[in-house]
Amino acid sequence: MRIDIITVLPELLKSPFEASILKRAIEKGLVEVHFHNIRDYTDSSYNQVDDYQFGGGAGMVMMIEPIDKCISKLKSERNYDEIIYMTPDGETLNQKTANSLSLLENIIVLCGHYKGVDQRVRDAFITREISIGDYVLSGGELGAAVLCDTIIRLIPGVLNNETSALTDSFQDGLLAPPVYTRPAEYKGMTVPEVLLSGNFGKIETWREDKALERTKQLRPDLLK
């Protein structure tokens, strides 16, 4: 898979890809992540990427021309399955969306800033608009990092058995059951007996029960 991220702040975005699972996925060649600075696609000598909004109002708007130049260059080099715009008014990201995006070959992720992008960018180029939640970030970069993390960890070969995504919360529509590790007793706090029993049938049933119980308690909306 190849992900092209278009941003005015590539330096804000790079570090999540330089550690742990995402770093390993890139090193293994399972994903390529490329950063494109919109300022590199401006003609003006002071690299202007935003301007005042027509009709007046607070806040700057990202201009169409540099974004058009960047997206058009990328599209001339390969086909893209989705061109995603990170924005608080997009569809809210969930596991189902991450699962389906992880199957794609090439995606572009455009990070908004200031008041967002000129609407004509959205109308002409964007195929999907994604929000990471009902709150406003200073820009789409942190949202893009979250989106890429959810997608990349699902690419086959990125996680090993121990970290398999199949047992994550939400994968089966439920929250994950509680987990424990050594020591079996800590300051009087013990681990559920069944987990020490070695009876894998019983352990599986216990985990299913706990997942359901936890979901009922914490996220009943998931069961509807």
- The annotation places the binding site for S-adenosyl-L-methionine at 112, 132-137
Q: What's 140's DSSP letter?
A: S
By the rule CB under 6 A, 7 interacts with ligand ADE? no
CA distance 202 to 17: 39
Residue nearest to ligand ADE (CB): 143
The Cβ-side half-sphere exposure at 131, using a 13 Å CA radius, reads 12
- Segment contacting ligand ADE (CB under 6 A): 15-23, 129-137, 182-190, 213-221? 129-137
10, 143, 206, 211: residue in contact with ligand ADE (rule CB under 6 A)? 143
* Smallest separation, CB 138 to ligand ADE (Å): 7
CA distance 4 to 84: 10
User: Is the CB of residue 155 less than 8 Å from the CB of residue 1?
Assistant: yes
Which of 93, 65, 30, 95 is closest to 109 using CA atoms? Answer: 93
Site for ligand ADE in 163-222 (CB under 6 A): none
Nearer to ligand ADE, 82 or 172 (CB): 82
Which of 85, 7, 3 is closest to 41 using CA atoms? Answer: 7
Quick one: tokens of 124? 């002409």
* Smallest separation, CB 89 to ligand ADE (Å): 9
10, 16, 66, 140: residue in contact with ligand ADE (rule CB under 6 A)? 140
25, 86, 158, 211: residue in contact with ligand ADE (rule CB under 6 A)? 86
By the rule CB under 6 A, 16 interacts with ligand ADE? no
CA distance 198 to 218: 29
Binding positions for ligand ADE, rule: CB under 6 A: 86-88, 112, 131-133, 135-137, 140, 143
